[in-house]
Structure 1
Amino acid sequence: MDKKTILLILICFIFPPLLCTSQGLPRFNNNTDQESLLVFKSKIIHDPLGVLGTWNLTSPFCNWTGITCNVTKQRVTSISLENLGLVGTIAPLSFLNYLSLLNNSFFGSMPQEIGRLFRLRMLSLGSNRIQGRIPVSLSLCSRLSSLDLSDNRLQGTIPSELGALSELENLSFSKNYFTGRIPSSFGNLSSLSNLILMSNSLKGPLPEGLGRLPFLIQLQIGLNNISGEIPNSLFNSSSLIILAMTANRLTGTLPPDMFTNLTSLTTLFLGANLLSGRLPPSIGNASSLTRVDLANNSFSGQIPWLGNLPNIQILSLQSNQLVNDGPSGMDFLTSLANSPQLQVFSVAENRLTGKLPSSIGNLSRQLSLLVMNNNFFQGTLPGEISNLVNVTLIAFEHNSLTGTIPPSIGTLPNLQYIFLHGNRLSGKIPESLGNLTYLAEVHLSNNLLEGTIPSSLGNCQRLQLLDLSVNLLNGTIPRDMFRIPSFGMVLNLSFNSLTGFVPSEIGSLNMIQAIDFSSNKLSGDIPFTIGDCSSLLYLDMSRNWFQGTIPNSLAKLKGIDYIDLSSNKLSGNIPVSLESLRFLQVLNLSRNQLSGEVPTAGIFRNLTAVSLSENLELCGGVPGLGLPKCDSPGKKSSGSRLRIVLIASFAFIFASVLVVWFVTRKKDSGIREGNEEAGSPEIYPMYRQHHLKLATRNFSSEYLIGEGSFGSVYKGVLNDGSWAAIKVFKMGQHGAPKSFLAECEALRSIRHRNLVKIISVCSAGDFKALVLKFMPNGNLEQLLHPTSESEVEKAFGMNQRMKVAQDVASALEYLHHDCETPVVHCDLKPSNILLDEEMTAHVTDFGLARILLKNSPNAHFSSSLGLKGSIGYMAPEYGMGAGVSTRGDVYSFGIVILEMFTGKKPVDNMFNGDMDLQDWVSMHLAGNSQDIVDHELKQKEGRPEYDEGIGRMLNIGLMCARKSPEERPSMREVSLMIKKVKAGLPE
């Protein structure tokens, strides 16, 4: 079939059949439908399941997969090709009333001709990669009742012309990049039931007309930048069932009678806004409510009576300024006994006072999370809490609770997390805690607990964290505690009065990451078996009565970051083997009785990291220590101490976080003393799994912003209202644990304005996540390939490309040349280059990063072999078994530069056989380089004064992407070259 015939067929599908009855154009018939479907099929470049195999002339097209026809006319009325992994562009069809391509990989722009589908009633293109703007012509599809364009890469403003779709019932544009305001014309969509615009960059006030839509049942506009007050008309909409506006900048107060009018409302999400005033008293009678989130606002005043919420499941009022004054101040809690479906209840971080009533035990038996921390509650923790048989977490930390921990707490069969630290609880720790078989974390620090540590805790075989620090505990450490196989996070017994020896069974804790026994009365030798705690990152045994020598086995702790053995009675020499601890940041051996020569390599060269004061018989060491020379220095041959340096097994998850965690807690106790020599890195906030679940609405697909081989990335709103990117690792995926550990190790010690900033790390059993700074402008991949022409001019011109190139070069220069130990990224590509609100580039995803060996003849090679990187960007020597080197990153950077200025991916179909991106660029640079410049850049910013700069950048890319690593420049040289090119460009 020739091109003319195909064109005629498409014209007839686009325009009404009457136009195809004259002047030689073919009349519409089912043969035309068949030809149009074949044209549609021709646009599909990848069909992984082979579903379009039935689309051939051997069977009637009405029997083809996904096709539905009109029975009498045998015309195609419906195409449904959902969840099939199809890749291609969308070809327009005309006789359809139903088109669903949901959850595939269609790319390109929406065709302008789509407005000719005048019969179309349902258009579902969600979860694809469609880019550009919404065609204004879509408003001509006057019979549309359902329109789903969610989870794509659409940009620009939402056309106000869509307000003319009078039959539209469902509209979803969530998870795109729309800007501007919600069109006021949406107030004219009189048939609209569901309006979903979540996760965009919409701003401005809400249209007043939305509240007057008679059939509106769902309005979801969370995760935008919408400001101003909520229109009063919305509070009078009796049809509304779901009102979700979390994480915007909404201001004002809520009307007292709003729930009297919103009689059908089941879901109200207004968290993380700027709302103030009192909570509406009418909330107590909103019997239809199931989920309410008003957290992270500035609500004040009394919490109203909540006695008529029979269907409520989630109620979060945390992080406000609420009070409960007067004798009836706790009635809100008592009244919730009438809510048998309640599963999550949080009033944390308010200004609540008084005693907790025994009626707390009358809360729902379905309650899972009870969160009341950071208030001013007094009195005892009621024993009736044991009635909450399904509770998994109780959080009452940082209040003023007194009395004993009720033993009945040990009868809660599903309890996993206990947060009672920062109170004034006294008495003994209940033995009944040993009955909690699901117990994972126990936080009882900063109280007045006394007596011995119950040996029954050894029965909690899923325990991962135990913090009993800053109490009045005495007696010995039970051996049974060291027989818990899951103990993988923290054991903190510091600032008590514990006595006796540390059991040798401590070596069984081979997953533990932090041990703190400081400020007790422990004695005896430090067990040699402590070297078997192979995952240990933090060890503090200071201010005790330990004696004997420092065990050589500490050198087995290859990932250790912090060791403090100060203020004991240790004697003998400092083990030379401690020199091999490459990641050790703090070593405090002060105030002991150590003697002999101080080692001179490794950490002992860092005067700010090592403290050896008040050990009067030490000598030697590096000159800066100021120690006397040793009387009889031993002879040293050049090969007397062969340094055996092993690449750590990436077990460096919480190094910096844990150091700060302990130091901060000790400062809070008011009794931390000594140890002034030990430095501490940047302070990170601590987030737990339930915090991240709240931030992302339990990792809802609506918050998903990207997926990779080892994890998924969500955007979420943290407790302080700030945005974050939360990378959750798929720990069941082969290689994911290694990727998580590698990324943590790389991010823990590097700081640069062009590297992604880590906010926190969360690790609990099989759950591993990184909390990173959110980048609102996406990644370089999205700028180079999915953007429309109008958006390229706006978002990515010549000077901005140069800025991104310079930013990335600066980041790599830092990693290769300015870190104490060089870091190789190993997976540099456009999708791993993120852009913040000012379009500054940040390199991310250190899941394959490698720390290079130092002081080795082959210092530019890692001992970890294998393929490192992504196809097209990976250095060719990696494919031949070479080790990781900084020159590999240089190669990847060169490919990125060539892609930035040509718009061609290294895996483009045009590159096959002997031709690759470098050869193609080289061939054209010898002639007319303008032939290969990205057409978006050439068309919109084709200024002659840029030509020389583009040519120089392409040459830099070619130099970096040379096949031989020895011929590539260093990133220091590359960074300087780019700065010179940028300086010569006009502003």
Structure 2
Amino acid sequence: MLAILPVFIILLCSCDSIVVVSSLNDEGVALLSFKQLIEKDPEGALSSWNYSDETPCSWNGITCSKGQRVVSVSIPKKKLSGSVSSSLGSLSELRHVNLRSNNFSGSLPSELFKAQRLQSLVLYGNSLSGTLPFEVGNLKYLQTLDLSHNFFNGSLPTSLIQCKRLRNLVLSQNNFTGSLPDGFGKNLALLEKLDVSYNEFGGSIPGDLGNLANLQGTVDLSHNMFNGSIPSSLGNLPEKVYIDLTYNKLIGPIPQNGALVNRGPTAFIGNPGLCGPPLKNLCSSDSLASPPFSFPYFPNSYPHQGGEDVVGGGGLSKAAVIAIVVSDLVGVCVVGLLFAYCYSRICCCGRRRDHDYAYGFKKGGKVRKECLCFTKDESETPSENAEQYDLVPLDEEVGFDLDELLKASAFVLGKSGFGIVYKVVLDDGLTLAVRRLGEGGSQRFKEFQTEVEAIGKLRHENVVTLRAYYWSVDEKLLIYDFIPNGNLAAAIHGKSGLATFSPLPWSLRLKIMKGVSRGLVYLHEYSPKKYVHGDLKPSNILLGLDMEPKISDFGLGRLANITGGSPTVQSGRMASEKPWQQSSTASEAAMFSPALAASFSSHYQAPEALKVVKPSQKWDVYSYGVILLEMITGRTPVIQVGNSKMDLVQWTELRIKEKKPLADVLDPYLVQDADKEEEMIDVLKIAMACTQSSPDARPSMRHVSDALERASPYRE
């Protein structure tokens, strides 16, 4: 009898284990099957996943509906290694899968696509390979498919066009081949974002892409093997859309209609077979070249040119220039706003740690006890569900939350009438710039939300990206990408407190000037609201790793007004909080003193800005012209002449009127670039055209950008 007792105990324990296992519902068992295929979990992201719970709803990365059904699996940036389990396909209510920025490998199982209510599948930044299964066409509710930065190959399945609710299709940086499926543009009419760059797609560009009337930002078909001619139907796309066709095998003339008109050459480079405007190589059938845009008369002031005019005799008449400018203004007024929100915000409904007053601001409000991210409306947008007291991401690449932001190291970068800016370094090394708009003001949350989410939709390589925002009664924060190389003001004139200074060579100055012009063209013509910056100056043109310029601070005046005016620069609470009060390093200090910077700022403003209330895009053109002069002359916007002061525009006009030699105008540091003198003269002409006292006499930024490309044509 005693010998049987241990066996009985073992059986009893086994029965208990069976009871524990059976207490977990079928969806929890399916998720544990997913966990079994994870080979490495260095951060313990799945440590809370176990058999002891009745449902998986409390597990890390899992969100459930009110009926305790799994609706979201979101485990980004956790360094997970392994393969994607087919068991996810058995989650009948699954709507969102986000496994981006991990180390998943292998192919996608076709069973995954049995989760037919899936709305978003984000697998960006893994090592997945193989083909996209044909079963993807089962996902009738799919709105976002992001497979970028993987190793997928083969052709796109023809069934993809059955995903007629698709709004975001991002397939860049893979090895896809073949052509885009027939009916691509006709069936996927709701697409707002299309990026198939850096693949091996071939064949002709489908003519029905012109049907995609909801597209925004950049349609990126670059770095593929598309061949044949550019379909003229692409001109039917919204005029604000930038079409990137670079580095393909396209041939023939570039159509000159609709959205394809007046594009700079940078949209078509890398296609030796293309011809016609805006490229310099004319088509064989062209008998006449399109006349370039001509700027107002520029006086002859350079001895080396003899008696010839700088502008020459081949330009357009003054009447033609005015007609072009007027037509541009009419075109700007025609196109309206187009907004479509396509993402349902994935939120975590578990407990949140409260870090009151951490880093100088308060995490206000109550912890929500119920997750409102998923409702019966399939088309809900982030703005409809945004929690008023939480960090709101503005794109799917935001992988940090408010807690991570609060715990981060931070350094003051600068202070202005629009608040304090901090450099914030998260635990994983990600560096951000956080602008604190203020503590008080009227609580116009919906108005603020609408404005900030519109700014968050702007995506251009020469515009700083707004990644997220935070609103509470006490604090309003804007979270941007951090741009590492300071601002253009410091690059031109050096930084205070530093004895050494490396002047920019002409080639780099020209690169920066072109980049800024492209960013302004985007804001003026292709952004949803056709923005006017209104406060453009070198201190808010930031420089990236490769010294690429990025325009910052647009829209701040409007946001500050909504939040109750300019925030206080000094705050008692800020001063008492250690993490956010650390002083900036010398390299991150402002170039000018606040008083001097304020006096300089007014000299970038157009003359009419002091009289006219409504901002105009021609304000930005004037400001840009002053910056061009600053880059060419190396002088500040205010120049001491004897006992009086003169602004840079007047000073330059006086040098020209007095027929001073070019050397008297140029930055002395540019002597080493004497072989680029013709380019410098061309840019000087453009600067003087931009700074005309009459706004009607100034060219549009599109014409300015095209003229800069002609001043130094792109060389492959």
TM-score (norm 1): 0.34
Of Structure 1 and Structure 2, the greater strand share is in 1
Structure of greater relative contact order (alpha carbons < 8 Å, 6+ residues apart): 2
Of Structure 1 and Structure 2, the greater helix share is in 2
Larger radius of gyration: 1
TM-score (norm 2): 0.45
